[in-house]
Amino acid sequence: MSIKRKAYIAGAYEHPGRELPDTSIPQIHAEVAIGALADAGLSLSDVDGYFSGGDAPGLGGLAMADYLGLRVRYMDSSDMGGSVYLSHVGHAAAAIAAGKCNVALVTLGGRPRTTKLRAPGQLMGSPPESDYEPIFGMNVSAVYAMAAARHMHEFGTTSEQLAEIKVAASVHAQYNEHALLRNVVTVADVVNSPFVSSPLHRLDCCVVTDGGGALVLVSPEIARRLDRHCVAVLGHGEAIEHTAGGFQDITVTGAVRSGADAFAEAGVRPGDIDYAGIYDSFTITVLLALEDLGFCAKGEGGKFVLDGALHAPHGRLPFNTDGGSLCNNHPANRGGMTKIIEAVRQLRGEAHPAVQVPNCELALAHGTGGWLSTRMGNATLVLGREDA
């Protein structure tokens, strides 16, 4: 059974805060939940399905469902790192299509900027690889940097090409009053910023912010009743890419499979996409996704991003028009939620006029969670205008 047009995104809300030292994490989840439901014209009492990731405090979604007073008959607290919110949209659409719920709420919230909970492993218990990777000083920027270094070695990708991705994000972020970084940067600014983990520079990295976001998905019947332009879920795919017993190719992500599944379900091709929200924990994350989603051939990502390709509104593939995680926010160290929210704005025509893609009918949102070079969750959504 396909989920195509079986569920609609009726509400979306991004927390405006980037530093929230005086707000608890459960309160952030509550604020974004109420915000997204208000956007849809619904309330907490309408929710009968709840989807939360590893950022939700407590035992899966149990604690937050209790805090919010949700009367839930379907719950999913699976986790795939920052990509899970894209996965949850697919899961929620499937649950709605199966009649398991009618109003599904997805929340994200966290405070990595004003607390110390930043390091991998501190939130995750003891995964089976814990004594064979972190013990060598593995850190997040380093594993992405190794993927970048290998991609440069195999395909001749340059630091200047990676920098073009940051430049495009910064050009967009200047119009977002909530973005943490609003200064437009140049390629030279990026490559002259200090190395964090070679070959990645400080400006190749996303921001660390508090904040959150939420989505509300509803059945087609409810979508028709709401006084709101809704966004159709057309396709979804997800894939785990792992270390393959030590035989991984770190220049390739699971987007190859998650993207293919999402495009097939939607019945569209990469060339049909008007706007792309692409997970941008680092510049290399975007470059690999562009290749693996089929926007260009493998190894050609560095050339693809030149000539303003990613710039809105007139580039070949406008991306991350809110400034993305590279400039706007990366709440709870998980950038997947905001990729969906900005895609929803684009499809509703509610993005900032300077970056609104004209006649935006078809959007893609993609997440890469976990770690490049080791194991990652990948999830892709194809979304469309309700009337398209």
Partner 1 sequence: MTVESQSLPAPAPEVTPEGAPFWAATADGRLTLQQCAACGRHVWYPRYVCPHCHSTQLEWVEASGRGTVYSFTLTTRGILDYAGCGPYVLALVELAEGPKMMTNLVGVDTSTLSIGDEVQVVFADTGQGNALPRFRPLAEP
Cα 307 to Cα 160, 163, 381: the distances in Å are 12, 12, 26
* Residue 247 binding partner 1, by CB under 8 A: yes
Contact 142, 196 (CB under 8 A): no
* Residue 245 binding partner 1, by CB under 8 A: yes
Q: How many Cα atoms are found within 13 Å in the side-chain-facing hemisphere of 329? A: 28
* Residue 333 binding partner 1, by CB under 8 A: no
Amino acid at position 136, single letter = F
- Our CB check for partner 1 shows the closer of 1 and 135 to be 135
**What contacts 385, CB < 8 A, 6 or more positions away?**
229, 231, 232, 347, 348, 360, 361, 362
- Our CB check for partner 1 shows the closer of 12 and 284 to be 284
Smallest distance from the beta carbon of 179 to partner 1, in angstroms? 24
- Looking up tokens 């996409």, which residue turns up? 273
* Residue 246 binding partner 1, by CB under 8 A: yes
CA distance 78 to 369: 13
* Residue 129 binding partner 1, by CB under 8 A: yes
Amino acid at position 221, single letter = E
Smallest distance from the beta carbon of 158 to partner 1, in angstroms? 15
The tokens describing 205, both together, are 């990295």
- Subset of residues 185 to 214 that bind partner 1, contact rule: CB under 8 A: 194-200
- Our CB check for partner 1 shows the closer of 195 and 354 to be 195
- Our CB check for partner 1 shows the closer of 91 and 375 to be 375
- Our CB check for partner 1 shows the closer of 131 and 177 to be 131
CA distance 367 to 285: 9
Smallest distance from the beta carbon of 302 to partner 1, in angstroms? 17
Task: Please work out the total of residues on this chain that contact partner 1, with binding judged by CB under 8 A.
Answer: 43
Smallest distance from the beta carbon of 366 to partner 1, in angstroms? 23
Contact 210, 111 (CB under 8 A): yes
- Binds partner 1 (CB under 8 A): choice among 1, 126, 358, 359: 126
Smallest distance from the beta carbon of 62 to partner 1, in angstroms? 28
Smallest distance from the beta carbon of 310 to partner 1, in angstroms? 25
* Residue 302 binding partner 1, by CB under 8 A: no
Q: Angle, to 10 degrees, between the axis of helix 283-292 and the axis of helix 159-173? A: 100
- Our CB check for partner 1 shows the closer of 129 and 160 to be 129
Q: Angle, to 10 degrees, between the axis of helix 283-292 and the axis of helix 255-266? A: 50
> b/e for 206-221, b at 16 or more Cβ within 10 A?
bbbbbbbbbbbbbbbe
Smallest distance from the beta carbon of 250 to partner 1, in angstroms? 6
* Residue 244 binding partner 1, by CB under 8 A: yes
The contact mask relative to partner 1 for 105-124 (x = CB under 8 A, - = no) is -------------xx-x---
Look at the alpha carbons of 186, 188, 193, 199 in this order and tell me if their dihedral is positive or negative: positive
- Binds partner 1 (CB under 8 A): choice among 125, 136, 271, 314: 136
Rg, C-alpha atoms of the chain = 19
- Our CB check for partner 1 shows the closer of 245 and 271 to be 245
Binding site for partner 1 (CB under 8 A): 118-119, 121, 126, 128-143, 145-147, 149-150, 153, 194-200, 242-248, 250, 373-374
